[in-house]
Structure 1
Amino acid sequence: MDISLIHAGLAAGAAMAAVPVILHLFMKQPPKRVIFPALRLIRERQKRSRKTMKIKNWLLLLARMALIALMALALARPRLFSQTSIGSDQEVPTAVGLVFDTSLSMGYKPRDKTLLDEAKQQANDILKKMPDSSQVFVIDSAEPGAPPPLSPAAARKRVDGIVLRPANRPLNLAVGQAYASVADCDRPRHEVYVLTDMARSSWDRDRAIEGLDKVKKVKSGIATYLVRMAPKDIHNVAVTEASPSVSVATQGEPVEIRAKIRSQGPATTRMVQFDLDGKPRHKEQVKLAADGETELKFLTPKLDPAIPIHKGVVRLSGAPDPLEFDDSRFFTFKVQPAMKVLIISDRENDAQFVADALDPDPTSLPAGTPRPSRVETIRTPKFDAQTGDTLKNYSTVFLLNVKEVSETGWSRLNAFVREGGGLVIGLGEYCNPENYNLPVASQLIPGSLTKKESPKETSFGKIADLTHPLFRSYPRQLGEMLSQIPIYHYWGITPPKGSRTLLSYSNGAPALVERSFQGKQTGRVLLWTTPLSRVTDSRLKTAWNEFALPVGENWSFFLLMKQTIPYLAGTSSEQLNYEVGQDAVLPVDPTRRFKNYVMQSEDGKTTERLNPPVDSLVIVTPPIGQWTVTASNSEGEKALMGFSVNPPGSEMSYTAMEASDFDALFGKKGYNLATDAESLKREVTMSRVGFEIFPWLMGLILILVTLENLLANKFHRESAPRGAVGVPA
């Protein structure tokens, strides 16, 4: 904190503080002569009196000196300030950066205007006070690039055109952009105003503000004003999630839709409506506790096979909401026929556990339970006897504890995988390693078999990649479940180059290994080195593990089998629901060569022609809404695709930045915080002109005048000496 003087010349009047000293030295009162018989006693009293008066006179002298010095200083009008002062004059040319937070949360409407409208009004009030010689840089937080310098009049027009933007960059970058523009301007005063609701979603708290080095290079500094536009208390209800249980559903089966409704503020009641394909399907009233959240589940009707793409929305209605963008959320999913799975085994028991996990008996399931897979089983001799391309109708083939496969059988499996199919091999007691290590088999299997291993105490151990589609649904819980499963025997293998171990045993040996084959469609082989079946009596030599336990005892086997089919079929990674700012990637069928792709909004008002894709259709940052993509060719053949785009989920949970957050970003003295127009006015005055000390000096002068008067009266008051004897005149 520094100090400046409005009338610096008058400060020289402080030198008049020496006047009392001069008067004291040249106007000493001559001592009075006292004739009294008891001369000795008089002289003793006179010495004591002079000593006392000397001390008292110094106090009075200091009071008078301070009084004169303070009067001179008060006339000079001192002020405290934190930036180099240029004066309070509004005619000083200024380089101004106006940073607008245009994120969707600025659409909050506490009164009849949104926060962005109030920010624009605040900016116009600032610009009206700027001289025409000022330069203004208007920065939209969603727009990268250096802004052009504008006059205050041109800047007002630019401000009026600012709108909310769904996809924004962190304000750290926008402020840095303002610093760079303002610092390079030759105007004598430099200021940056950040107009924001201060939501944490608009800032990157782990990233420093850019351009702070430029602030230090400006001699007069750059005053930064953070203006909070949002009210202290936020009241809002939002649909934070609405998603189908699967991205690719099975035709003729219902799909479960999960939705989450969150309230910020006091308890409230809202109406929630679920629509599918433009038709209302469900509506219910929901009570929300203060700052509470509730989860809802809806079940679609059985899906019509004639409709390949289904679009839905969960929306709020009822009481008016100050923030509209989060009152609805879209979702899209596609349907396809149930995937056919073939299980090849030598014995029925080896196929039973996988078949029950993938396609259990419908009579044992609750009504409406979807059946995404249809399982067929076949014995190995019958499979070997087949010829031709009989596997093309299956999405996945399981080879479970098979002793030997003919070379023809291995060749057919090889061709199936290289055409994009999925193969799962479960090794076991009866496998012949010589057959599995044949050249035709080694081209396919992700590991050469060595010998049977029988460790004393082993279980499943480390999951190599928790984000892998097989494990990412419940990675922590799945890891805990797998670690509790005893493994008695497994096959030792040597994985070939290009394969990867997805799951190990607790001793580090490979348990699950994957091998991929690139082509028009990616083919994959998964190799389990222990059986995908279970023998009840663990004392038997055919008991290799306790993996295939009932769901109630350990659901890891059931979940991994369920995840395997969509992963190998390539549908588990298919994404149809995005947040704004993401690129939408839609897979295309490589066997169907479409030339024309047209993207259309749900209301039909927006239509865009897309370039034909090479491998997949990439749509760069599509807007919020539900979109349909129609592919066609010259023969009139068509295919429908679709996807949904929603607002960012981070903006649906409003949490305000704290002063400590800004201290870390700007430094404790690197910004001025304002919460309304009055506080902004005070902060600007303090930064431009400083803190007026004159009223405090006048108060201190009043105190000193009073003190000087009291001291003068006390020190020079005549009083009769104690014990004096009066002498008659």
Structure 2
Amino acid sequence: MFEGFVNPGLVIGTSLAAVPLLIHLLNRQRHKPLAWGAMRFVIAAYRKTRRRVQLENLLLLLLRMGVVALLALCVARPFVGADGGLALLTEARQDVVLVVDASASMGYREDVETIFERSLRRATSFLEKLDGPRGDRVQLIVMGGTPRALGWGDPSKALALIPTLSPGAERADLAATLGKVLAICEEDASGTGSSHVQVRVLCDLQQDLFASLRGTLSAEDSSINLEGEQAAEGSGSEPLARQHLDKLQELGVHVIVEDHGPAPTHPANLSIQSVRTLNQPIGEKARVQVVVQVANHGTSPRPAERVSLSVNGNKLPVAQVDIPPLGRAEALFSFQAETPGAQALLAQLEGDRLSVDDRRAAVIMVPPAISVLVVNGAPSTDLDKDGVGYLLMALEPLRGGDGPGNTLSAPFAAREIAPADLLASSLDLRDYDVIVLAGVASLPEFAVQALTERVASGASLIFAMGSRLADLEGTNARLFGADGSGLLPAELVQKRSTSRRGRYWRVAQFDETHPALSFFAEERWMPLLTEVPIYSFVESRPLEDARVLARLDDEGQSPLLVERAFDQGRVYLWTTSFQREWTDIAASPNTLVPLVHEWIVHAGSRNESSREARPAESLGLVLHAFPRSPQLVRPDGTGRPLAEEPVQQADGRWRLATLTPSDTALPGLYKVQLEGAPAEPLAIALDPRESELERIPPAALNGLHPALSLAKADGGTSGDKPVAPRRGELWRWLALAALAFLVAESVWGARLGRRRRMTA
């Protein structure tokens, strides 16, 4: 009879109809028969009227039970469909879920209004047609990175919220939005298997919005967590958005998508896609090369477009680029970082129809010079025989010309000591990022313990062979452990040498992906590493968890460079030496300089936490010194104190409280002001996919899923897909019936009472 109830939980109230019956039965049990002299005359009279009295009492009882049951049903608000037997008695009403796309692309301006403003105008027109007093309800959902549901309510309440909405800078999450819609429809179905909720999505028909409905997810994208809901894991699983649409289709719900976007398939738009560095700047006066990539999303060429870049508020000379249709171009900028630390970058284009992607903020880190402690196990006045002479030359500051003051950068701060100096009380190994043991013959136990503690806390240790390192067994005993507890990443076996005039060895293979050797991966630079002679090396047996980065071309493919993680630090084994008698690499600056620079930069790098995030994403900040009175300042000048207590990490750095999505809603440059210290910059950058305004063709949208229906901007539906029918409620008729029962009960009860008094 009924298809369902608006308030199904209140249907249980109909059980209260049994209360009058229980009262009647309890009253009967309270009377005990008592015989007396004239009882036989009363019984004789009662037997004549018993049948009529019972019927009168039963009718009165049924009226009272009917009043309670009808009132309970009235509150539960049952409804029937258009084809139901009681359809003529119903009062039609609608439950609508209205989804408004508030992603960054909706800020595209066409004529005098943006796409978002056009959608709000349509939402207002649609809501004004709903009838709150009749029982129409609306759920307004703002679709962004995290969809916001504003709750079921009267259409007038939703109308009041419309003027307060504005487009964000986030990428819309269709899967998460459909998940909320599905939860609403399942609640509406309440076990009936069907829902009459009407779902409308007001958007710009951007292809990226519906990308999650195409094909299958890769293994890394197939696990999506949405409010406790987990997508099926594994390569090739169905996208979560499609799973939600499948379930909506099972409930009989169709999602009507209204197109409010611009007319062209590829709307004209320029955007800054990325801001990145070409090099790894280190130390004071480091030269930084920055590439700003600009994309043309339209079908017309854009010649001589001006691109500007500001560094820490200082504007660099403007660059011009020619951008082909649907293509990209890069603008190159260069500046000198006077001091190490975070550098705040802001790239800009001249404004166009979508202003949010004409600016892009970035933060790059210029770390201080890497401190290198070089322990020379074979000092000599002869450069060719000195254990670290060529190494120290490679670590010298880069210069731009002759004479003082022409230093371009100083990425390394190297200090040379003798092995005995490791025992000096004035030496603090915590001051050094990289420690090089070059041909050190022996180390006292105290020095080994100090080195172990420093590497475990995050430093890198490089072992290099040398002419004075003859006791390999003793070195293994002090520094190698088969269980991985020692500092050496491989067991030293024996030294192998050949005459410089005879056969020599070369690098046969190396890990081209490793940062220390990736420079030589290019074909033009590869011979600098693979063709240089090596005359002596030490055979070794690496541990299982060690990584061999380079091997020689001897019969055993002996390791040349081995790397292994050691707690928070890293250890390396260089099985040859930095002395020229061992290898010509030492005296070949074209090989030694890039090898040493890339190697030491990688070994001395510290895992810096990212200072960039997407809008409305959480972001943390890690500082080297204790932050006093931190204050967040947003791009619009507003801010708040970061009152949460900073937490010190194991490496000695301090982590500030994580910025919440509400803190990072705006794209641009942020800063954390500190008492007694320079401000620390952060960057919130738009997802580049929001700049891709290419629109999905109507036929393609209709073919994505049977539960999707395309509608025009005025709400007219295209195609032959059904729309959720208007369902009718019976609560007014039930209320009238309850009132009629109540009146009948009162009249009938009064009549019975009056007649029985007269009879008595």
**Residue 437 of structure 1: SS of its match in structure 2?**
helix
| Structure 1 position 324, deviation (Å) | 0.6
CA distance in 2, matches of 1:92, 1:658: 35
Cα drift, residue 303 of structure 1: 1.2
User: Where does residue 355 of structure 2 map in the other structure?
Assistant: 324
Corresponding residue for residue 413 of structure 2: 374
Counterpart residue number, 1:58: none
Give the drift of 1:103: 1.4
Structure 1 residue ranges without an equivalent (≥5): 1-83, 536-541, 691-729
Q: Which residue of 2 aligns with 1:295?
A: 330
The Cα shift of 1:605 comes to 2.6
Residue 651 of structure 1 aligns to which amino acid in structure 2? E
Q: Pick from 140, 143, 168: which aligns with 1:141?
A: 143
Distance 1:629 1:185, change over 3 A: same
User: CA offset at residue 375 of structure 1?
Assistant: 3.5
Q: Greater Rg, structure 1 or structure 2? A: 1
Tell me the equivalent position of 1:176: 179
Structure 1 position 462, deviation (Å): 6.7
Deviation at residue 559 of structure 1 after TM alignment:
5.0
Percent of aligned positions that are identical: 19
Give the AA of the match of 2:656: L
Shift of 1:491: 3.9
Matched, 1:167 2:170: yes
Quote the residue 1:101 is aligned against. 101
Aligned runs of 1:232-247 on 2, under 5 Å? 232=264, 233-245=266-278
Equivalent AA in structure 2 for residue 240 of structure 1: Q
CA separation in 1, counterparts of 2:329 and 2:668?
Answer: 24
Measure how far apart 1:641 and its partner are: 2.9
Check whether the contact 1:225–1:672 (CA below 8 A) recurs between aligned residues.
yes
Against the structure 1 CA distance between its residues 603 and 180, is the aligned structure 2 distance closer, same or farther, given a 3 Å change threshold?
closer
Provide the secondary structure at the position in 2 that maps to 1:173. helix
> Could you say if the C-alpha distance between residues 618 and 505 of structure 1 is closer, same or farther in structure 2, counting changes exceeding 3 Å?
farther
Output the TM-score relative to the length of structure 2.
0.64
Describe the shift of the 1:452–1:182 C-alpha distance in structure 2 as closer, same or farther (beyond 3 A): same
Match of 1:644 among 666, 669, 683: 683
Inter-partner Cα distance in structure 1 for 2:610 and 2:601: 13
Rounded to whole Å, the distance in 2 between the matches of 1:406 and 1:478 is: 45
Distance 1:178 1:534, change over 3 A: farther
CA distance in 1, matches of 2:356, 2:494: 62
Q: 1:550 to 1:85 in 2, by over 3 A?
A: farther
Change (3 A) 1:373 1:652: farther
Q: CA offset at residue 325 of structure 1?
A: 0.9
* CA contact 2:269–2:691 (8 Å) conserved in 1: no
Contact kept in structure 2, 1:135 and 1:150, CA below 8 Å: yes
SS where residue 683 of structure 1 aligns?
Answer: coil
Letter in 2 for 1:225: V
SS of residue paired to 1:673: strand
Report SS of the residue matched to 1:344: strand
What is the deviation of 1:113?
A: 1.4
In 2, Cα distance between the equivalents of 1:123 and 1:473? 57
> What is the DSSP-based 3-state SS (H/G/I as helix, E as strand, rest coil) of the residue aligned with 2:716?
helix
Q: Is residue 648 of structure 2 the alignment partner of residue 614 of structure 1?
A: yes
Q: Distance in 2 between matches of 1:245 and 1:375?
A: 25
* TM-score computed with the length of structure 1 as normaliser: 0.66
Q: CA deviation at 1:235?
A: 0.8
The number of aligned residues is 573
2:202 is matched with which residue: 195, 200, 204? 195
1:400 match: 438
Question: How far has the Cα of 1:193 moved from its partner?
Answer: 1.9
Equivalent of 2:571, from 521, 525, 547?
A: 525
- AA matched with 1:374: A
8 Å contact 1:193–1:227 — kept in the other structure? no
Instruction: Provide the C-alpha distance between the structure 2 equivalents of 1:227 and 1:508, rounded to a whole number of angstroms.
Output: 64
Please name the residue that 1:114 is paired with.
114
Partners in 2 of 1:398 and 1:343 — Cα distance?
Answer: 5
Aligned equivalents of 2:537 and 2:120: distance in 1?
Answer: 70
User: In structure 2, do the counterparts of structure 1 residues 564 and 490 end up closer, same or farther at CA, with 3 Å as the change threshold?
Assistant: same
Relative to structure 1, the CA distance from residue 92 to residue 242 in structure 2 (aligned partners, 3 Å threshold; closer, same or farther) is: same
Cα distance in structure 2, aligned partners of 1:689 and 1:390:
75
Alpha-carbon shift at residue 278 of structure 1 (Å): 2.3
1:332 Cα deviation (Å)?
2.8
What does residue range 529-544 of structure 1 map to in structure 2 within 5 Å? 529-531=575-577, 542-543=582-583
Aligned position for 1:711 = none
Aligned pair partner of 2:614 in 579, 600, 609: 579
Task: Report the equivalent of 1:267.
Answer: 301
The Cα shift of 1:327 comes to 1.0
Conserved in 2, the CA contact under 8 Å of 1:405 and 1:435?
no
In 1: Cα distance, 2:204 partner to 2:615 partner: 20
d(CA) in 2 for partners of 1:152 and 1:684? Answer: 28
Counterpart of 1:281 in structure 2 is: 316
Partner of 2:325, secondary structure, is coil
Counterpart position of 2:463: 425
User: Could you say if the C-alpha distance between residues 201 and 610 of structure 1 is closer, same or farther in structure 2, counting changes exceeding 3 Å?
Assistant: farther
Q: Do 1:601 and 1:627's aligned partners in 2 also have CA atoms closer than 8 Å?
A: yes
CA distance in 2, matches of 1:473, 1:180: 53
Query: In 1, Cα distance between the equivalents of 2:524 and 2:673?
Result: 40
Tell me the distance in 2 between the aligned counterparts of 1:472 and 1:127: 60
| Paired amino acid for 1:139 | I
Change (3 A) 1:547 1:230: farther
Aligned-residue CA RMSD (Å):
4.4
- Equivalent position amino acid for 1:529 in 2: T
**1:430 Cα shift?**
5.8
Letter in 1 for 2:434: T
Q: How does 1:32-43 map to 2 (within 5 A)?
A: none
Distance 2:345 2:92 in 1: 57
Residue 213 of structure 1: how far off its partner (Å)? 4.1
Counterpart residue type for residue 339 of structure 1: I
User: Aligned runs of 1:317-396 on 2, under 5 Å?
Assistant: 317=350, 320-334=351-365, 337-345=368-376, 346=378, 348-349=383-384, 351=388, 354-359=391-396, 362=399, 369-377=408-416, 380=418, 383=421, 388-389=426-427, 391-396=429-434
Match of 1:673 among 710, 726, 735: 710
Look up the match of 2:344: 311
1:625 Cα deviation after fit: 2.8
Q: CA deviation at 1:181?
A: 1.4
Structure 1 equivalent of residue 124 of structure 2: 124
Counterpart-to-counterpart distance in 2, 1:478 and 1:257: 24
* Separation in 2, partners of 1:409, 1:188: 75
C-alpha distance after superposition, 1:224-255 (max 9, x if no partner): 33535243231111122223456764223342
Q: Quick check: 1:277–1:310 contact (8 Å CA) kept in 2?
A: yes
Q: Does 1:503 align with 2:554?
A: no
User: Structure 2: how far apart are the matches of 1:459 and 1:244?
Assistant: 31
2:491 equivalent among 428, 448, 472: 448
Pairwise CA distance, 1:92: 4.7
Aligned 8 A contact 2:284 2:369 in 1: yes
- Consecutive unaligned residues of structure 2, counting only runs of 5 or more, are 1-80, 218-238, 498-502, 650-654, 726-760
Question: Secondary structure of 1:343's match?
Answer: strand
Determine if contact 2:629/2:641 at 8 Å carries over to the other structure.
Answer: no
Matched, 1:628 2:635: no
Match of 2:638 in 1: 605
* Distance in 2, Cα, partners of 1:629 & 1:184: 45
After superposition, give the CA deviation of every residue in 1:640-684 in whole Å (9 maximum; x if it has no partner): 4332221123323444446687577x53x332224x426x51428
Per-residue CA distance 1:573-625 (angstroms, 9 max, x = gap)? 45333333544333333xx5556433233664313324212323352344233
1:184: Cα distance to partner?
Answer: 3.5
- Evaluate the alpha carbon distance shift between residue 652 and residue 490 of structure 1 in structure 2; reply closer, same or farther with a 3 A threshold: farther
265-274 or 600-609: bigger deviation? 600-609
Aligned-pair CA distance for 1:291: 2.8
Q: Following the alignment from structure 1 to structure 2, what is the Cα–Cα distance between the partners of residues 131 and 524?
A: 70
Deviation string, structure 1 residues 442-474 (Cα, Å, up to 9, x no partner): 53222322335799998554749x5x7657899
Aligned AA (1:175)? L
From the superposition, tell whether residues 211 and 663 of structure 1 become closer, same or farther in structure 2 (CA, over 3 Å). same
Aligned partners of 2:271 and 2:295 also within 8 Å: yes
Paired residues of 2:343 and 2:363 also in contact (CA < 8 A)? yes
Query: 1:185 aligned to 2:194?
Result: no
